[in-house]
Amino acid sequence: MNDADLTRLPADDWDELINPRPVENDFDRVVDAAISRRGFLGGVLAFGSGASAMGTGVMIPATSAQAQATSRFAFDPIGIQTDATVHVPGGYRWDVLIRWGDPIFPDAPEFDHETGGDADSADRIFGENTDGMESFQVGGRQLLAINHEYTNREINLPHATDGVPTGLDDVRKLQSLQGVAVIEVAEDAEGWHVVKDSPMNRRITHLTPMKIAGPAAAHDLLTTEADPTGTESLGTFNNCGSGKTPWGTYLTCEENFNGYFGAKGAVEVSDPVHAGYERYGIGADGWGYDYHKWDDRFDISTHPNEPHRAGWVVEIDPADPDSTPVKHTGLGRFKHENAEVVLASDGRVVVYMGDDERGEFLYRFVSNGTYTPGGPTEGLLDEGTLYAAKFHDDQSGEWLALTPETTGMASLAEVLVFARQAGSAVGATTMDRPEWIAANPHAVEAYCCLTNNKNRGVKPNAGGDETPVNGPNPRETNNYGQIVRWRPENDDHANDRFTWDLYVMAGNPEVYHNIYGGSENITAGNMFNSPDGMAFDSAGLVWIQTDGDDSNEGEFEGMGNNQMLVGDPVTGEIARFLTGPKGSEVTGLTWSTDRRTMFVGIQHPDAPFPDGEGKLPRSAIVAVKRDDGAPLG
């Protein structure tokens, strides 16, 4: 397989290619487990009396008929689409706010569709593959902080054969197109636009200086030739989902960081580094970025600790464009999706986080200190305890502390750097690719998109943990995904015990009349697959974005392009609000401070969105408004 083929693979398929798992052959055990789960789920997924009679305290949606009568949705749901643009319901409209390549500084050039821009200006423009996004109000300015997750090399480097970098200049361009953008935006009679001369505008890239903080900072696993202190690194990588702290900072989450590293020579490392490479999918070839061939620090044969300085949650202060971003090792190192921050009853900071790979875990961090508005925040994302989730089949669950004592690992630093192995050591529940987590602002509960997992019941995870069907992951070869939610005991996110249920199990009721048809709140009119992005609005409705199979064929027929839906947590009702252009993933959602605009991300369209035929496809943020100008979330 050549570099171009490699980069077309989704990151999770690429991980498997470089690190093949043994094929599960204990088929009888898998089938037995699946059958027993189906019996249990008959009570849960019908959302009926069986589950409520269990007295779990889990919220149970009403029937679809009740939901119809009490719908809180202010729009008529839209049908599926298979075309190359964005659709929203009648009474709403959308416009492009910004696209890959648009200048965000006065001295940056306008986008050039022939070249895709040059390396020199790549950190002065809006980056590629928009993803997580949060809104901030700073001194009367409307700011957006937006992730740039990865690149589309064949589009970004049109001069290079198959998009393979031809030298350091190409690598620098790719490095500069990724990371984070902080931009000031403003609305006038023409709509929303970027304030190009704002002093708040900022690009953070794979080259930006970072601080490393928390228990793993300065540990031997994080030191390098360039940074013998293990406290300063360059760049934030594969910035996927996001988060926002109560004190007004932005959290950007490093996901498939392993793909940026490779080796020019033999890789000679001993455990635990070797085991870590295996578990995190770090190898000689990389994902086709070829950084290691032109930028030495990405060569793991000479800089074996550099990958340990990626895979973290990074805090950025959007109010201070000169601030140095901070990598918080207290939150653990894995393929972070997003970071949902809530407060415990006593003011401790709780961060929920997912590790998006097949069969990996769900995590929670609880700070030692408490947050008080205006008070000090130092250490609140580092000094505390990291936990992994264990789900029991009786709809109970618990958070298992990850410490040297519970895991048998040598130090807290090692626990955090190799959080996956720590989760395995305590027997955490293998999940169907945890993507975004969102907490309900009107109830003490949180939701996690489990996007899909074709290996459920088929293969172990990358660490060899078996992945039989289990409570929140009830279907073998799960191509559709589900959303699990949990409610902590005593309405306290710091409590180590919780109850859980499935808010929705995606499926296709037109194709399947079994568990693959989905839960009761899935119909022919709202079908989707692979829930991924998720956010609650101020009214307590949950918005769900998808990143799935948009072939609209076979078991995906009737689902169309990727989309954004909205769900009512109380009734279970779900309705389609927006569809994206063909090939794109809908990801990233936030609101203007006045809630009259919803900003939605469109990542990697195949079609020439949004500029039309003959133009390069460009990831973009669209601004969605109601025609009557009323708030929409």
**Residue ranges that bind ligand FEO, judged by CB under 6 A:** 149, 240, 255, 337, 356, 435
Q: Are strands 482-488 and 446-450 parallel, antiparallel or unpaired?
A: antiparallel
- Choose the contact partner of 255 out of ligand FEO, Ca ion, none; CB within 5 to 8 A by kind: ligand FEO
CA-based nearest residue to 333, from 365, 371, 289, 304 = 365
281 vs 468, beta carbon nearer Ca ion: 281
Is residue 547 at the binding interface for Ca ion, with CB under 5 A as the rule?
yes
472 vs 588, beta carbon nearer ligand FEO: 588
Q: Are strands 336-343 and 179-188 parallel, antiparallel or unpaired?
A: unpaired
395 vs 473, beta carbon nearer Ca ion: 473
Residue type, 138: V
Question: In Å, what is the CA distance from 368 to each residue of 326, 371, 416?
Answer: 19, 10, 16
170 vs 547, beta carbon nearer Ca ion: 547
149 vs 476, beta carbon nearer ligand FEO: 149
33 vs 353, beta carbon nearer Ca ion: 353
Both tokens assigned to 105: 């500084």
SS3 567: strand
221 vs 351, beta carbon nearer ligand FEO: 351
Q: Is 524 exposed, middle or buried (0-12, 13-18, 19+ CB in 10 A)?
A: exposed
SS3 564: strand
360 vs 501, beta carbon nearer ligand FEO: 360
Pick out residues in 428-457 that bind Ca ion (CB under 5 A).
Answer: 435
295 vs 355, beta carbon nearer ligand FEO: 355
123 vs 435, beta carbon nearer ligand FEO: 435
Give residue 599's Cα distance to chain centre.
17
> Tokens 């789920």 belong to which residue?
41
What minimum distance in Å lies between the beta carbon of 147 and ligand FEO?
9
- Choose the contact partner of 534 out of Ca ion, ligand FEO, none; CB within 5 to 8 A by kind: none
- Choose the contact partner of 355 out of Ca ion, ligand FEO, none; CB within 5 to 8 A by kind: none
The alpha helices in 482-617, defined as continuous H runs, are none
Q: Is 63 exposed, middle or buried (0-12, 13-18, 19+ CB in 10 A)?
A: middle
CA-based nearest residue to 287, from 601, 101, 19 = 19
Exposure string (b/e) for 299-324, b if CB count within 10 Å is 16 or more?
bbebbbbbbbbbbbbbbbbbbeeeee
What minimum distance in Å lies between the beta carbon of 142 and Ca ion?
25
Please identify, among the stretches 51-59, 149-157, 482-490, 524-532, the one whose residues bind Ca ion according to the rule CB under 5 A.
524-532
What minimum distance in Å lies between the beta carbon of 540 and ligand FEO?
25
108 vs 535, beta carbon nearer ligand FEO: 535
String of DSSP letters for 409-463: -S-HHHHHHTHHHHHHHHTPPP-B-EEEEEE-TTSS-EEEEE--BTTTTTS--TT
Number of neighbouring beta carbons within 10 Å of residue 31: 13
SS3 553: coil
What minimum distance in Å lies between the beta carbon of 69 and Ca ion?
34
Draw the binding track, 323-342, toward Ca ion (x: CB under 5 A; -: no contact).
Answer: --------------------
What minimum distance in Å lies between the beta carbon of 11 and ligand FEO?
8
- Choose the contact partner of 16 out of ligand FEO, Ca ion, none; CB within 5 to 8 A by kind: none
Pick out residues in 396-435 that bind Ca ion (CB under 5 A).
Answer: 435
- Choose the contact partner of 520 out of ligand FEO, Ca ion, none; CB within 5 to 8 A by kind: none
What minimum distance in Å lies between the beta carbon of 603 and ligand FEO?
9
H or E, element range at 64: helix 64-69
- Choose the contact partner of 149 out of Ca ion, ligand FEO, none; CB within 5 to 8 A by kind: ligand FEO
What minimum distance in Å lies between the beta carbon of 436 and ligand FEO?
8
Cα 364 from Cα 366, distance rounded (Å):
7
What minimum distance in Å lies between the beta carbon of 435 and Ca ion?
5
Among 532, 550, 568, 573, binds Ca ion (CB under 5 A): 532
Is residue 170 at the binding interface for Ca ion, with CB under 5 A as the rule?
no
337 vs 382, beta carbon nearer ligand FEO: 337
What minimum distance in Å lies between the beta carbon of 506 and Ca ion?
13
What minimum distance in Å lies between the beta carbon of 352 and ligand FEO?
15
Q: Are 136 and 232 in contact (CB under 8 A)?
A: no
Question: In Å, what is the CA distance from 358 to each residue of 131, 280, 355, 461, 612?
Answer: 20, 12, 9, 6, 36
Question: In Å, what is the CA distance from 546 to each residue of 298, 325, 332, 386, 527?
Answer: 32, 29, 26, 28, 11
String of DSSP letters for 169-231: HHHHHHHHHSEEEEEEEEEETTEEEE-TT-TT-EEE-TTSEEEEESTTTT-GGG--SS-TTSS
What minimum distance in Å lies between the beta carbon of 506 and ligand FEO?
16
- Choose the contact partner of 227 out of ligand FEO, Ca ion, none; CB within 5 to 8 A by kind: none
Please identify, among the stretches 303-311, 463-471, 529-537, 552-560, the one whose residues bind Ca ion according to the rule CB under 5 A.
529-537
149 vs 295, beta carbon nearer ligand FEO: 149
Q: Which residue is nearest to Ca ion (CB)?
A: 547
Cα 437 from Cα 401, distance rounded (Å):
19
Cα 143 from Cα 185, distance rounded (Å):
6
What minimum distance in Å lies between the beta carbon of 434 and ligand FEO?
8
The contacts of residue 25 (CB under 8 Å, 6+ apart) are: none
First to last CA, the chain: 46
Please identify, among the stretches 62-70, 438-446, 543-551, 569-577, the one whose residues bind Ca ion according to the rule CB under 5 A.
543-551
What minimum distance in Å lies between the beta carbon of 603 and Ca ion?
9
What minimum distance in Å lies between the beta carbon of 239 and ligand FEO?
9
Cα 5 from Cα 438, distance rounded (Å):
34
Please identify, among the stretches 35-43, 140-148, 288-296, 527-535, the one whose residues bind Ca ion according to the rule CB under 5 A.
527-535
Q: Is 438 exposed, middle or buried (0-12, 13-18, 19+ CB in 10 A)?
A: buried
10 vs 228, beta carbon nearer Ca ion: 10
Is residue 149 at the binding interface for Ca ion, with CB under 5 A as the rule?
no
List of residues contacting Ca ion (CB under 5 A): 435, 532, 547
